[in-house]
Structure 1
Amino acid sequence: MIRLAACQYAIELLETWDAYAAHLTELCEAAAARGSQLLLLPEYAGLVLSGQLPPDERSDLQGSIAGIQPLIPAWRDLCESLARRLRLYLLPGSLPVLDSDGQYRNRAWLFGPEGCLGYQDKLMMTRFEREEWNIVGGREGLRTFDTALGRVGVLICYDSEFPLLGRHLAEAGADLILVPSCTDTVAGFHRVRVGAQARALENQVAVLQSPTVGLAPWSPALDENVGRAGLFVPPDRGMPADGVVAQSSELCPALSQWLYADLDLEEVRRVRSHGQVFIRRDWLEQWQVLEPRR
């Protein structure tokens, strides 16, 4: 049994590095005190660093992501030190990173007790990211991370709405998929939530979602945020009948709060061999029949 913590992360204006570091440290320490072994923060949670920029810079869509680039090394060091000290796995959300080819990519690092395990870039861009923000999709595909808790994959927000991306992670051996999300409407939240639950169903894996919440008029990228944290599994023998292990009660709390959930990954794996249905196996068999006809 492992304990997971997914944050409904309220976007706050933190105007100094010390204020931000204290904020993230307090948040992570609170989850660690509850016995959490893996902490998930949402997509673009790292963009809260832009609160440290001058008001005219942080209120500029392009200027805000350019302005935070010098802060990213210290942010990564802080996240890594928290994961090492608290002896847990931490995905502190994502943020736009200026890549070696001069393009910005939406990147999420995973840290553990042993340090940095690597990163996952978002692959599928929303219209806002593509048309207004000039952020491009990742060029390295999907990867999995081996942890003491099990093999983990990451689908950043919109990526979770594409079945073949989830399937790729499942075939690579992921038992748990992390979905950090950032949505500014109830409809957007539900698209990601439905996608997350669908990926759990069709691949017979567990999926953990963490959203941004709250209003941040000082940020043109994070001005409105709506969502619930949740942990989803395939509805089957030994699992919740609706596939929902846990979900936050409020759609948009005023302050950041953790959703804690205990998960037995062995029970999730058991569904794939002893469940009422074998969706994962049957999907593959049918795909092999259909593939030659394409």
Structure 2
Amino acid sequence: MIRIAACQYAIELHERWDTYAAHLEGLCTEAALGGAKLLVLPEYAGLVLAGQLPPDERADLQASIAGIQPLLQDWRALCAGIAAKLGVYLQPGSLPVRDADGRFRNRAWLFGPGGELGFQDKLIMTRFEREQWGIEAGKGLKVFDTALGRLGILICYDNEFPMLARTLAESGADLILAPSCTDTEAGYNRVRIGAQARALENQIAVLQSPTVGLAPWSPALDENIGRAGLYVPPDYGMPSNGVIAESLELCPATSQWLICDLDLEEVRRVRAEGQVFTRRDWPEQFGQAQLL
């Protein structure tokens, strides 16, 4: 049994580094005091760093992501320090990163008690990212070996594409982290439904963490809505609707943690003893299906 925490992360304005650092550490400490050993923040949570830029720069879509690049080294050190201090695994949300080729990618790092474990880039861009923001797709999927189990990360829209989660599941991931950022209830539900479908198809667990609240100072994070949730396959020993837990409020005024317990052994047992074998039967039926 592991205790995990997904944040409904309210986008707030922090104009100084020390204020932001204290905010992030305090937030993570709250979850750790609740017993959580894995903490997940949402897609683009790291873009809150843009609050430290001059008002005209943070209000500019392109300038805001360029402006935070000099802060990234200190941000990664901050996240690594928090994970080490609290003895937790921390996925502190994603943020746009300029790579050596000059292109920006939406990147989510994972930190453990012993340091940085690596990152996962978003692979499929939304229309906003591609058409307005100039964020490029990353390449490849990664599975992270931790003391809690094997984890994968699918950022927001990536959860709506079955083969990505399938690749992670076939590579041994029992839990997928799904940091998300959506500005409508429909957008939130698309990711949530995708997360639940991926849990059903692969007989694994999926943990969603969303942004919430209004941030008129940021053209990228101006409106945010969503619930945190932990989803599993609906089967023997699991909730009949596949929902271990969900946040009560759709859009709280402040950041809230959803802290819940997950028994990965029970999830694995479903794959061996469940009412159905969706994970096993997928390739068999997929190979036989033909158009008539």
Partner of 1:45 in structure 2? Answer: 45
For 1:38 and 1:98, the matched residues in 2 are separated by: 27
3-state DSSP class of the match of 1:80? Answer: helix
Matched AA of 2:230: L
Matched AA of 1:121: D
User: Equivalences for 1:120-131 in 2 at 5 Å?
Assistant: 120-131=120-131
Partner of 1:26 in structure 2? Answer: 26
> How many residues are treated as equivalent by the alignment?
291
For 2:268 and 2:47, the matched residues in 1 are separated by: 36
Matched AA of 1:186: E
Q: TM-score, normalised by structure 2?
A: 0.99
Matched AA of 1:64: S
Give yes or no for the alignment of 1:238 onto 2:237: yes
Task: Tell me how far 1:289 sits from its aligned partner.
Answer: 3.0
User: Equivalences for 1:49-60 in 2 at 5 Å?
Assistant: 49-60=49-60
Partner of 1:36 in structure 2? Answer: 36
User: Equivalences for 1:127-166 in 2 at 5 Å?
Assistant: 127-139=127-139, 141-166=140-165
Task: Tell me how far 1:114 sits from its aligned partner.
Answer: 1.1
3-state DSSP class of the match of 1:81? Answer: helix
Task: Tell me how far 1:288 sits from its aligned partner.
Answer: 3.1
For 2:238 and 2:37, the matched residues in 1 are separated by: 21
What residue ranges of structure 2 are gaps of 5+ in the alignment? none
For 2:34 and 2:135, the matched residues in 1 are separated by: 36
Partner of 2:3 in structure 1? Answer: 3
Partner of 2:252 in structure 1? Answer: 253
3-state DSSP class of the match of 2:100? Answer: coil
Partner of 1:283 in structure 2? Answer: 282
For 1:251 and 1:230, the matched residues in 2 are separated by: 11
Q: TM-score, normalised by structure 1?
A: 0.98
1:95-141 CA-to-partner distances (Å, cap 9, x unmatched) read 000011110000000000111000000000000000000001002x1
For 2:14 and 2:200, the matched residues in 1 are separated by: 39
Matched AA of 1:199: R
For 1:274 and 1:215, the matched residues in 2 are separated by: 45
User: Equivalences for 1:78-117 in 2 at 5 Å?
Assistant: 78-117=78-117
Task: Tell me how far 1:87 sits from its aligned partner.
Answer: 0.7
Matched AA of 1:162: F
Partner of 1:263 in structure 2? Answer: 262
Matched AA of 1:170: A
For 1:199 and 1:179, the matched residues in 2 are separated by: 11
Identical-residue share of aligned pairs (%): 74
Task: Tell me how far 1:284 sits from its aligned partner.
Answer: 1.6
3-state DSSP class of the match of 1:35? Answer: coil
279-288 or 31-40, which deviates more = 279-288
For 1:122 and 1:224, the matched residues in 2 are separated by: 21
For 1:165 and 1:108, the matched residues in 2 are separated by: 16
1:237-256 CA-to-partner distances (Å, cap 9, x unmatched) read 00000000000000000000
Matched AA of 1:214: G
3-state DSSP class of the match of 2:12? Answer: coil
Give yes or no for the alignment of 1:213 onto 2:198: no
Task: Tell me how far 1:290 sits from its aligned partner.
Answer: 4.3
Partner of 2:64 in structure 1? Answer: 64
3-state DSSP class of the match of 1:50? Answer: helix
Give yes or no for the alignment of 1:182 onto 2:166: no
For 1:173 and 1:285, the matched residues in 2 are separated by: 19
For 1:205 and 1:20, the matched residues in 2 are separated by: 34
Give yes or no for the alignment of 1:16 onto 2:16: yes
For 2:54 and 2:20, the matched residues in 1 are separated by: 15
